[in-house]
Structure 1
Amino acid sequence: MALAVLVGIYRYRSDTFSYSSFSSQLLENQKLFWGSALWHYAVVLILLAHFIAFLLPPLWGGIIGGPLRFPLEALGLILSLVGFVALGWLMMRRFSTRRIYVVTTRMDWVVVGLLLFQMLFGFVISLSYRWGGEWFVSSTAPWLWSLVTFNPKPEYVTAFPFLIQLHFFTGFLLIALFPFSRLVHLVAFPIGYLWRPYQRVIWNRAPRPGPGFRTS
């Protein structure tokens, strides 16, 4: 967390232009659309559920303890699978499209690989260890709050299976790599666009000849 915050602030102040996802949409858009759209929808909903369970454990416990338990469990399983497939599609795009491959850095491969494994771990955990919403509230949320308050209590999670602990470790590893990768675009909100003057775009190219144009 210290790396994510401190290095993230330093990077923003020293190299603001790099605070971007460096979109490759202009280089290839068709494959990007299908992978990126599905990936963002899936990961946003998954992270939203995690944040609600972490910030408001009683509320989440009430929701997951009612009739919505089965639909939410099924939705989490589906979203993790969709996210895994979409991210795999984006990785294949970087391998198969030469123009995308040459602008992909080593850190890009590391982050995409970790995200791919993280989604896979989430899918397997959802499939193998049922009622994750309930044990998240009773064990994972208190453990995370103990870290936030600088009073670590690892006994909350030491009894978890290795796969779940690996899921936690990979998540914190991604947070540590956050300021060194393109993930910084998550907090690069273009607020300045609200009051920035309008831009006039002038195409610097010759117009195409009309249907009645003739050449000698």
Structure 2
Amino acid sequence: MYDVFLFAVLPYLAIVVAVLGGVHRYRTNRFSYSTLSSQLLENRRLFWGSVPWHYGIVVVLLAHMIGFLVPGMWSALTSTPTALYTVELIGFAFGFAALIGLCVLIVRRFTTERILAVTSPMDGILLVALLVQVALGFWVSLAYRWGADWYIDTAVPWLISLVSLNPQTHYVSALPFPVKAHMLTGFLVIALFPFSRLVHLIMFPFWYLWRPYQIQIRNTVRSAH
């Protein structure tokens, strides 16, 4: 019953909260769909935190997505020991970069008075949830090796069962607690992000792709000779 709630009910609740919360925020305060950038308030530590965080998390998420979307290709990619070692080493390095970058960003946000003044309580909660999520992922990669291999036979079929609306908890019920916690905090982050500044991630201006070209007419005043 415990696993059923955590791995068959909670993921759907998180998605529902994210969708409804995002829609409500857009309808009631759409101008808050912004990064609310603090670059002008303090830039130096932003660079040293933002660069490793973004590069690290993008690579890690991309690896997770490839394994989920094309598990056959991922299994073939990690089928030899050399390839598996390489993938594990790359994932470990970029995961460590993401963790360090996030720590720098958190310290910057909570130790700079001007930035702290524009930080909402939900931003703080989300940053803590992100830190726990990334730290757990780093710990899993360090303590439970070859995750690039067993991920295909555990988390992937579980996620596929969720997408197909037929959750199968037995794929993950026997996993160690840190692995389970890493999975669940991922859905916690999904539930929280519409209520924080990270909501801008879903507001990429796609309408730029089909809007008409902007016509510019130069209007210069010629000097008299």
186-195 or 40-49, which deviates more: 186-195
The whole-number CA distance in structure 1 between the counterparts of 2:46 and 2:215 is 29
Q: CA deviation at 1:191?
A: 3.4
The whole-number CA distance in structure 2 between the counterparts of 1:68 and 1:186 is 32
Contact between 2:98 and 2:134, CA under 8 Å: does it hold in 1? yes
1:58-81 Cα deviation digits (max 9, x unpaired)? 111111113321111011111111
Match of 1:73 in 2: 88
Correspondence 1:87-106 to 2 at 5 A = 87-106=102-121
Where does structure 1 lack aligned partners over 5 or more consecutive residues? 200-216
Tell me which stretches of 4 or more aligned residues in structure 1 moved more than 6 Å.
Answer: none
Match of 1:49 in 2: 63
Structure richer in helix, relative to its length: 2
Match of 2:223 in 1: none
Match of 2:41 in 1: 27
Match of 1:163 in 2: 178
Match of 1:40 in 2: 54
The whole-number CA distance in structure 2 between the counterparts of 1:169 and 1:71 is 27
Match of 1:136 in 2: 151
What TM-score results when the alignment is normalised by the length of structure 1? 0.86
- Aligned-residue CA RMSD in angstroms? 1.8
Q: CA deviation at 1:57?
A: 0.8
Q: CA deviation at 1:193?
A: 5.1
Q: CA deviation at 1:125?
A: 0.5
Match of 2:77 in 1: 63
| Aligned amino acid, residue 64 of structure 1 | T
Q: CA deviation at 1:162?
A: 0.5
The whole-number CA distance in structure 1 between the counterparts of 2:206 and 2:41 is 26
Q: CA deviation at 1:192?
A: 4.4
Q: CA deviation at 1:4?
A: 1.8
The whole-number CA distance in structure 2 between the counterparts of 1:173 and 1:121 is 13
What TM-score results when the alignment is normalised by the length of structure 2? 0.83
Q: CA deviation at 1:7?
A: 2.5
Where does structure 2 lack aligned partners over 5 or more consecutive residues? 1-14, 217-225
1:55-112 Cα deviation digits (max 9, x unpaired)? 1111111111133211110111111111111111011111221100111111111111
Contact between 2:18 and 2:191, CA under 8 Å: does it hold in 1? yes
Identical positions, percent = 49
